Amino acid sequence: MEADQRILLAEDSADDVLLTRIAFRKARLANRLEVVGDGEEAIAYFRGTGRFADRKRFPIPILLLLDLNMPKVTGFEFLLWFRQKRAFQEVPVAILTSSEHDPYAARAFELGANSFLVKPPDAETLLALVQRLHAGWKIVPERELLEPEL
């Protein structure tokens, strides 16, 4: 597992981005968190256009954390575009929502979401969520990078 494997967060709330960064830091994840603020930027990231043209600097992420309520291109519109692209079929998408009873969950799964995660209200709760992600996706804790392979 390489430490440069990225996780992309598509989120327009600066507060939620900050909480996520804090949780990733506290979880000591080696994976770099890239952030885009709306659906148009998420498309540009995956297309490798504009400021994301350098694939060495902005590789295809191993996981996408996606907010549904983004400006310009919504999470639903992005998912519809994203899952039509063969090159991205293997990238898991976890939808971030503010409620356990989100009425849009079924639609998100229909469009190809792999998981539906409730946005925690604080950094400590988000930290617990991020630590649980280790089991579901290829997220690398820093300590594993220091241990020799057997």
User: In the chain, what percentage of residues exceed pLDDT 70?
Assistant: 74
Question: Within a domain: residue 1?
Answer: no
Q: Which residues are bridge partners to 116 per DSSP? A: 95
Q: Does the pLDDT of residue 117 top 50, yes or no?
A: yes
Structural domains of the chain, count: 1
Give pLDDT, residue 147: 42
Q: How confident is the model at residue 31 (pLDDT cuts 50, 70, 90)?
A: confident
Compute the chain's Rg from CA coordinates. 15
Tell me the pairing of strands 33-36 and 63-67. Answer: unpaired
Backbone angles phi, psi at 91, to 5 degrees: -80, 115
Question: Within a domain: residue 56?
Answer: yes
Among 121, 102, 45, 127, smallest CA distance to 78 is for 45
Mean pLDDT of 12-21: 88
Identify the H or E element spanning 107: helix 105-110
Q: Among 5-9, 16-20, 134-138, whose mean pLDDT is lowest?
A: 134-138
Give pLDDT, residue 54: 95
Give pLDDT, residue 25: 80
Q: How confident is the model at residue 123 (pLDDT cuts 50, 70, 90)?
A: low
Are 67 and 12 in contact, with CB atoms under 8 Å apart?
yes
Provide the 10 A C-beta neighbour count for residue 33: 19
Mean pLDDT of 68-84: 93
Q: How confident is the model at residue 22 (pLDDT cuts 50, 70, 90)?
A: confident
Are 17 and 33 in contact, with CB atoms under 8 Å apart?
no
Question: Within a domain: residue 34?
Answer: yes
User: In the chain, what percentage of residues exceed pLDDT 90?
Assistant: 43
Which of helix, strand or coil describes residue 111?
coil
Instruction: Report the CATH number at residue 59.
Output: 3.40.50.2300
Give pLDDT, residue 24: 79
Q: Give the residue numbers spanning the domain of 107.
A: 7-146
